Amino acid sequence: MNGADLARFILWRLAVAVPLLLIISFGVFALVHLAPGDPVRALLGTRPSDPETLATLRARYHLNDPFIVQYGKWLWQVLQGDLGRSINGNRRVLSAIIERASVTVVLGAISTVIVLVVGILLGVVAALRRGSRLDRAMVMFGVLGISSPAFVTGILLLYVFGVVLGWFPTFGPGRGFVDRLWHLTLPAVALALSVMAIVVKITRAAMIEEMDKDYVVFARARGITPARITFAYLLRNALVPVVTAAGIIVIGLLASGIYVEVTFALPGLGSLIVDAVQKRDIPLIQGTTLVFACFVVLVNLIIDVIYALIDPRIRFTSVAS
């Protein structure tokens, strides 16, 4: 795929993503109207109110206008970077999201590195030792990892390495780069273990499939070293299904991160949306849900581009044109 083909493919994917985001934004905005009763009462939840407060909320959220007009005004504000104000504390939703995003981003980045590096390495080792005790141990690890929710693994690691051994802190995000890495290592491992098993299983299956193909036999006959065959030929072709599943893996990390953040008392986006749901802070729920949706669409776009770059046989020109 040359540069022009790649550019057309990205533009085509963006064109597909725009209506998808519009549909998601419409559903997110409709949350306040899907709640039973008066939308103002849904916004207030269990908080006390008076006629002046009700009138102020109706004016702020344009609740006296028709529904489609309300959505248009809200969407225009979102496009300008205004996600509204939280009912609790009257804070800007975007400010609250930005304040919490750093913890979630660092946690997700560490977990992704652990999942991909360790998961691919274990999958390669299991494939090269196919049928051995090590291979069977990797398969058992995969079954155990998929069967263990992130919050269960988090509680176990928290008790063993945080409470009993005292190697890692038991709560908080830390301050500064090194201290934050130290605080987030245990949550990142807990988050990665529940997803890493998928990477191990996919990598192992793809490596075994590639090892039985003719080009591997020809490479060995030419005297190419086993290490070069493994990393230059087998691993590159085996990474295609791994990259295909990478989008689901990253999204799975994002979803499981909510439980891990609550377990380790981390002030990230996961704990923010849990707190918003508990307090029925609909503007904050709308804002965080919309940000998560945009992130999912962006991840899928990046994965598609990486997929095309890894496997040069794939051509998206016909789709993009």
* 34-53 tens-digit pLDDT: 766 666 666 666 666 667 77
**Mean pLDDT value of segment 306-316:** 61
DSSP state letters, 91-155: -BHHHHHHHHHHHHHHHHHHHHHHHHHHHHHHHHHHHHTTTSHHHHHHHHHHHHHHHS-HHHHHH
Is 8's pLDDT higher than 80? Answer: no
pTM equals: 0.72
pLDDT tens-digit series, residues 111-160:
888 888 888 888 888 887 777 787 788 777 777 777 777 777 778 888 78
Q: Considering 226, 242, 266, which residue would you say is the last residue of a domain?
A: 266
15 and 115 belong to one structural domain: no
Q: Give the pLDDT of residue 201.
A: 82
Give the whole-angstrom CA distance, residue 42 versus residue 33: 8
Give the whole-angstrom CA distance, residue 139 versus residue 127: 11
123 and 255 belong to one structural domain: yes
121 and 251 belong to one structural domain: yes
The answer as to whether 104 is a domain residue is: no
136 and 216 belong to one structural domain: yes
Is 272's pLDDT higher than 80? Answer: yes
By residue range, what is the domain housing residue 77? 1-88+279-321
73 and 160 belong to one structural domain: no
Give the whole-angstrom CA distance, residue 223 versus residue 235: 18
131 and 26 belong to one structural domain: no
Is 56's pLDDT higher than 70? Answer: yes
249 and 131 belong to one structural domain: yes
The answer as to whether 102 is a domain residue is: no
Is 320's pLDDT higher than 70? Answer: no
Q: Give the pLDDT of residue 317.
A: 45
Give the whole-angstrom CA distance, residue 172 versus residue 265: 6
Higher pLDDT, 110 or 222: 110
For 2-11, 51-60, 278-287, which range has the lowest pLDDT when averaged over its residues? 2-11
CATH of residue 179's domain is: 1.10.3720.10
The answer as to whether 93 is a domain residue is: no
The answer as to whether 97 is a domain residue is: no
The residues, ordered by sequence, that sit 6+ positions from 281 with a Cβ below 8 Å of its Cβ are 45, 86, 87, 88, 275
Count of domains observed in the chain: 2
119 and 20 belong to one structural domain: no
Average pLDDT, the chain: 77
Residue 120's nearest CA partner among 267, 270, 264, 234 is 234
114 and 242 belong to one structural domain: yes
237 and 154 belong to one structural domain: yes
Q: Give the pLDDT of residue 45.
A: 61
The answer as to whether 148 is a domain residue is: yes
262 and 284 belong to one structural domain: no
The answer as to whether 64 is a domain residue is: yes
**Mean pLDDT value of segment 8-21:** 79
261 and 291 belong to one structural domain: no
Confidence category of residue 314, pLDDT binned at 50, 70, 90: low
The answer as to whether 101 is a domain residue is: no
The answer as to whether 94 is a domain residue is: no
